[in-house]
Structure 1
Amino acid sequence: MADSHRPPPTLDPTSRHWAFAAGAASLVPMLLQLPGTLGGTIAACATAVAALAWRQPAHGLIRLLLAVSLVGTVLVLTRFSFGRDTGCALLAAMLAIKPSETATLRDARSLVGFALFAPFATFLLDQGPLSLALGLVATLISLGALQRFADVEAGDAHAVPLRQRLPAIGRLLAMGVPLTLAAFWLFPRMATPLWGVPERALARPGLSDTMTPGEWVDLMNDDTPALRARFFGATPRQEEMYWRGPVLWHFDGRSWTQPRWFRNLPVADTEPADTRWDYEVEIEPTDRRQLVALDLPLAAPQGTRLSIDHGLWAERPQTSLGRWRMQSAAPRRYEPRLPQTLRQVALELPAGYNPRTLALARQWRLEAGANDGAIVQRALTWIRAEFAYTLDTPLPGRHAVDEFLFDYQQGFCEHFSSAFVVLMRGAGVPARVVTGYAGGYRNPYGDYWLVRRSDAHAWAEVWLPERGWVRVDPTAAVAPERIYDTLADRAPGAGLFGAAGGMTPLLNVTDWLRRGWNDFVLGFNATRQQDLLKPLGLERLGTRGLIALFGMTAGLALLWMLWLSTRGPPETDPVLRAWHRLNRRYRRVGLGREPYETADDWVHRVANDRPDLTADLAELSLRFSNWRYAGPRTGRTASRERQELVRALQAHRPRPPGERT
């Protein structure tokens, strides 16, 4: 009964540091996936809490204030939007303040157990190799912390240095890895998950079906990958790489949008040119349905569909990496007969906006007569002569197009395409805005093209008699270098180390490795699973066959775990290992210690058979018993005594019977 009232084991400083290290390592991968302000706030709070609780837990009132303030901050920064980001941020916030209540060994175990949720929750936001590597590091540190706690409870913490804990940690990993690999490679792949994954509360950067001039600045400064493309056969020139995304028709005076009912209309007729591009595109997740394809896609791949304006849309939001095989060709003629309904939509302008632009457009129409092509060329000549490209633009007013065309006359692709389409519509030329990406960078290591979010671009399409829709890029008229940069200028890292791009080879290799990760891990689907089994003679294995194969493999993995468990963990105490080796040496001369014998009983038995060995063995036995059972000792003196005892145990070797000294 007295044991039931015994206080829980206290937390020594080393164990506290192990617990804090496990919590920090688990928190890092999640913070890297949260928005900068949110992740930085949680990281600062975690640092402050760790400093406050480094020696002892914080007061209860302080913990309450920390929890309330941090949760409130997370909700404000996520704009009270509930989804994956908010849930992961709240988990990170709770983990950040968890060390403030760590007082006992049980609290430390609770902290480590709670911390392990963080790296696994990170995979809801990102499945990249960096997240996996950081999650693995966090798992190893957490296992080391739990091993330390077990040693503290057993009274052996002083005798087990860090390097001797690594085999035990490796043993735990070896138990679980075979079953994990079996589940990944052999468990039947399904087209959709068994349960729904909540939407992200905070949108990922990327294209949307809305464009407001001036709001792409952050996107155009984002060098993270948007897509990768690999061509089979001929490759288009860089200036031909227009990656078509959402097509925008409706203008309210400020923003461009696409009427949703357009997506259900049949695809417009096109007459493709003779040259066709066969390629595979790998698109990073955006949590949206819109995709991009080389202008113009000839058909929609499985799981997608084309809208009337050849915008490509997926059947469900793209929450993970997507890969599609496509064919595209530039159009020789694109919808040469424009239905009256679409013509009206392509000429609509809101009333009460941009009077100077409309007046100029009407004047051009009177001067050009019925020649729509002349109006287009006149606008491009004007833009080429008097306009400049810049990302530093003033905030637009009510008449944003008037201000751009007649006042500051500088901007980037959103301004040029929006103003150009408004000007064309004012002159009676049907026009629309097309968004997507332009150009790309060829990675020489993988022979594929990398398109980054900073390559986001918007251009215009005008409808001309007999030709139909024709691409017109007013931004290229004033700043072609922005659209068709040299490969050196667009190489990753070139902006940091000059045009030569001192970091370019390293970043090329990094992205090539990331593409390999996408191919072999994130892109592992049902087809790849069947290909994996072909060398085994299993050409077509159905779901039942896969389940049976997985069951057999999982059974073997469980037997492996059982075998490792029955063998027992490797001995970590160097003194005990040396003692066991001494026993094995005595066993070779027929005097090994029996499992039921104490050290003293063993010495007495050896003395009866071999008196010549008694003195040395008795001394070693006494020193071993004192070290093992006299209580924990720490410090340099204890370390020196342990080393001397280990050397003495290793040096003593019993002589065979009859051998002279």
Structure 2
Amino acid sequence: MPLDSSCRHWTLIASAACLLPLLLQLPAQLGGLIGVTAVVVGLLAWRQPLPGWLRLVLTLALVGTVLGVGGFSFGRDTGCALLAAMLAVKPSETAGLRDARSMIGFALFAPFATFLLDQGPLSLLMGLVATVLALTALQTLADLEVGDRLVRTTGRRLLGIGRLLAIGLPLALSVFWLFPRLGTPLWGVPERSLARPGLSDRMTPGEWVDVMTDDTPALRVRFFGPAPDTSQMYWRGPVLWNFDGRSWTQPQWLRGLPPAISEPSPVRWDYELEIEPTDRRQLVALDLPMSAPEDMRLSLDHGLYASKPVSSLTRIRLRSAEPRQYEAKIGRVLRGMALALPDGYNPRTLALARQWRREAGGDDEAIVRRALAWVQRDFAYTLETPLLGRHSVDEFLFDYKAGFCEHFSSAFVVLMRGAGIPARVVTGYTGGYRNSIGNYWLVRRSDAHAWAEVWLPDRGWVRVDPTAAVAPERIYDTLADRAPGGDLLGGGMTSLLNTGDWLRRGWNDLVVGFNASRQAELLRPLGIDRLEGSHLSLLFALTASLALLWMLWLSAQGQREADPVLRAWHVLDRRYRRLGLGREPHETASDWIRRVGLARPDLALALEILSNRFVDWRYADGQTGGRAADADRQRSLTRALRTHRPTSERPRTDPQAATKQRSTGERR
């Protein structure tokens, strides 16, 4: 059956609504390209399908682009991008009723695929809207198929969809909250082929600008007790030892070694981290974590690692303390790694480092202080940095003297190693923003930072942040100048941003972070400390049974006749049935009236008039449903059927009045 314009429009609108939330989770350029293609194809196919050769060209071009962006590797994001690309070109072959239903069914995979990439409230809301529009489009197609499209309005269709959602919602909620959950899933979700923005085990000075202008949350922190000063909030991530003249990398084999011995200071910090998904095993912790939670471990350099990639929201409880001594004795192998520099790079920096070593007379701390004083006096902080050449540290220290944390930490460590002081680069986040509404700290990806650690006799590894030594008057280009929304925190938008992130944290706590352990403690506010599996199963069976009864009741209500005239005719039949004169299933209206006239002549005349009017409405002009009649006739007949109430008594009738009543009914 061919589609009319209304059904085609509904199909395209519903498919676009399903595609939109998925596009928002893809890389911006790829999502924009697929979105533009979908709009162009939808406009071209608004009236009729596209030629087969054009559909083939569009499909091959989009598939090639998606695979190219994903590096021809397959994962969650590549699969979702391919799904979006296929949905973008699907309207080009939609011609008939079967094609439209196939397209809507295919489009419904898109909002569900969105949840593989993001489980936020906005994705859920957009998915719900898309589902409602898709169901409405399917109802429009069904009305077209049965020839009832002109009778059912859009409002009535939406009302029917709302009834469907109300029928299934209680059962869905009972399954989510009470169906026994496993501690670990039966199968894993494929990893992503496109890495999320964030920290990695590799740092190349100048390549962090995209991360440092990303204002999205990286983690949220809730302290149990006092919180450290913001200037002491160093969130330790990957520790980088190896330098090839351009990039710093992390030796993988150090992850398997136990953490180095440290002597913590008396001040301890007890806190909970809520970490956004990164698809990496590397986590961060307040410098310096004292131990690792269950299913996690600390590496030799106190990097925190999960047993599997963090692909969902993760909560961990930690204790940290600044060390008095941290690996006071260092082995020969590690010392050699912390002093290693590639040959043929940065000759001016190495010459200066050797000069400082000679002038310091063996005082390592004096060399560190001298380097920090130089940074404070002559260097500036800016994100506007040129691309450095082969001798990147020489160019930064002696030519440009301006950069951001990557440049400062890299150059500082190379300078220290050149002076014979073991040093390494530490990456992570620094600082945080306190949300006064939720009383927690928010650390964004734009808070990414890199600093240095130098090894000093009798003290071990000591944190040194050369970026913090830059004088405030020499900070020319700050993160707030670039970070989206960063400049709003000092203005009137603070409360709005605090509320928005607090709501997102509540969503994470209520929905995204609801796991097996949280489910077991669901009834703790009611005095039940823990629900065992058998108790959960029993409670789920009870609530599911109630939900099914609710579904049956609403479904029965949904069987009510939609046509008000036919509904009133059935009510009239039930009234006569109470008198023992109800219409039998095999009887026509005329046969029923004849039987009623034999039993109750006083009722036959009025019933005959109503029956003639009903037959005229129902079957006039060979159409069903009364579409040939106007709204006034429908209301009048409905009112007449509802107000006619036969009685069990036989009233005395006037023959002349009966004749007059019959002629009046015929004129109507």
Whether the TM-score (by the shorter chain) exceeds 0.5 is yes
CA gap 1:392/1:602 in 2 versus in 1, 3 angstroms: farther
The counterpart of 1:504, out of the listed 494, 501, 509, is 494
The counterpart of 1:210, out of the listed 188, 202, 206, is 202
CA gap 1:604/1:231 in 2 versus in 1, 3 angstroms: farther
Partner of 1:155: 147
Cα RMSD, aligned residues only? 3.0
More displaced, 223-232 or 571-580?
571-580
Q: Quick check: 1:585–1:654 contact (8 Å CA) kept in 2?
A: no
Partner of 1:415: 407
Q: For the residues of structure 2 that align with 1:376 and 1:408, how far apart are their CA atoms?
A: 21
Q: Deviations over 1:77-116 (max 9, x none)?
A: 2221211111111111111111111111111111111111
CA gap 1:617/1:229 in 2 versus in 1, 3 angstroms: same
Q: Quick check: 1:586–1:654 contact (8 Å CA) kept in 2?
A: no
Q: For the residues of structure 1 that align with 2:345 and 2:478, how far apart are their CA atoms?
A: 39
Partner of 1:248: 240
CA gap 1:481/1:23 in 2 versus in 1, 3 angstroms: farther
Partner of 1:95: 87
Q: CA deviation at 1:19?
A: 1.3
Q: How is 1:70-85 mapped onto 2 (pairs within 5 angstroms)?
A: 70-85=62-77
Partner of 1:613: 606
Normalising by structure 1, we get a TM-score of: 0.91
The counterpart of 2:105, out of the listed 113, 116, 127, is 113
Q: Quick check: 1:494–1:501 contact (8 Å CA) kept in 2?
A: no
Partner of 1:346: 338
Q: For the residues of structure 2 that align with 1:602 and 1:67, how far apart are their CA atoms?
A: 64
Q: Quick check: 2:565–2:637 contact (8 Å CA) kept in 1?
A: no
Whether 1:25 aligns to 2:24 is: no
Q: How is 1:172-187 mapped onto 2 (pairs within 5 angstroms)?
A: 172-187=164-179
Q: CA deviation at 1:51?
A: 0.6
CA gap 1:179/1:462 in 2 versus in 1, 3 angstroms: same
Partner of 2:48: 56
Partner of 2:377: 385
CA gap 1:222/1:494 in 2 versus in 1, 3 angstroms: closer
Partner of 2:37: 45
Whether 1:313 aligns to 2:302 is: no
The counterpart of 1:333, out of the listed 325, 335, 348, is 325
Q: For the residues of structure 1 that align with 2:160 and 2:275, how far apart are their CA atoms?
A: 41
CA gap 1:605/1:62 in 2 versus in 1, 3 angstroms: farther
The counterpart of 1:650, out of the listed 634, 639, 642, is 639
Q: CA deviation at 1:309?
A: 1.1
Letter in 2 for 1:380: L
Q: CA deviation at 1:69?
A: 1.6
Q: Deviations over 1:271-293 (max 9, x none)?
A: 21221111110000010000011
Partner of 1:624: 617
Partner of 1:405: 397
Q: Quick check: 1:244–1:434 contact (8 Å CA) kept in 2?
A: yes
The counterpart of 2:224, out of the listed 208, 226, 232, is 232
Q: For the residues of structure 1 that align with 2:652 and 2:295, how far apart are their CA atoms?
A: 83
Letter in 2 for 1:140: V
Q: Quick check: 2:240–2:424 contact (8 Å CA) kept in 1?
A: yes
Q: For the residues of structure 1 that align with 2:472 and 2:302, how far apart are their CA atoms?
A: 25
Q: For the residues of structure 2 that align with 1:323 and 1:482, how far apart are their CA atoms?
A: 39
Whether 1:288 aligns to 2:277 is: no
Partner of 1:222: 214
Q: For the residues of structure 2 that align with 1:332 and 1:584, how far apart are their CA atoms?
A: 90
Q: Quick check: 1:167–1:570 contact (8 Å CA) kept in 2?
A: no
Q: CA deviation at 1:183?
A: 2.5
Whether 1:433 aligns to 2:425 is: yes
Structure 1 residue runs without a partner (length 5+): 1-8
CA gap 1:585/1:222 in 2 versus in 1, 3 angstroms: farther
Q: For the residues of structure 2 that align with 1:256 and 1:124, how far apart are their CA atoms?
A: 32
Q: For the residues of structure 1 that align with 2:345 and 2:457, how far apart are their CA atoms?
A: 28
CA gap 1:263/1:628 in 2 versus in 1, 3 angstroms: farther
Partner of 2:188: 196
Letter in 1 for 2:610: L
Number of positions where the alignment pairs a residue of Structure 1 with one of Structure 2: 646
Q: Quick check: 1:300–1:312 contact (8 Å CA) kept in 2?
A: yes
Q: For the residues of structure 1 that align with 2:590 and 2:47, how far apart are their CA atoms?
A: 44
Normalising by structure 2, we get a TM-score of: 0.90
Q: Deviations over 1:148-179 (max 9, x none)?
A: 22222222111011111223212322333233
Q: Quick check: 1:418–1:433 contact (8 Å CA) kept in 2?
A: yes
Letter in 2 for 1:49: V
Q: CA deviation at 1:606?
A: 6.1
Structure 2 residue runs without a partner (length 5+): 654-660, 662-668
Letter in 2 for 1:82: F
CA gap 1:398/1:61 in 2 versus in 1, 3 angstroms: same
Q: Quick check: 1:493–1:503 contact (8 Å CA) kept in 2?
A: no
More displaced, 333-342 or 224-233?
333-342
Q: How is 1:504-653 mapped onto 2 (pairs within 5 angstroms)?
A: 504-534=494-524, 539-543=529-533, 546-547=536-537, 549-551=539-541, 553-577=543-567, 598-599=588-589, 608-611=601-604, 613-614=606-607, 617-618=610-611, 620-626=613-619, 630=623, 641-642=630-631, 644-650=633-639, 653=643
Higher Rg? 2
Q: For the residues of structure 2 that align with 1:346 and 1:512, how far apart are their CA atoms?
A: 42
More displaced, 166-175 or 223-232?
166-175
Q: Quick check: 2:171–2:547 contact (8 Å CA) kept in 1?
A: yes
CA gap 1:150/1:20 in 2 versus in 1, 3 angstroms: same
Q: CA deviation at 1:602?
A: 5.3
Q: For the residues of structure 2 that align with 1:389 and 1:62, how far apart are their CA atoms?
A: 53
More displaced, 172-181 or 474-483?
474-483
Letter in 1 for 2:387: L
Q: Deviations over 1:292-312 (max 9, x none)?
A: 111111111112111111111
Letter in 1 for 2:11: A
Q: Quick check: 1:599–1:621 contact (8 Å CA) kept in 2?
A: no
CA gap 1:47/1:372 in 2 versus in 1, 3 angstroms: same
Q: Deviations over 1:325-373 (max 9, x none)?
A: 1111111222222222221111111111100000000011111111111
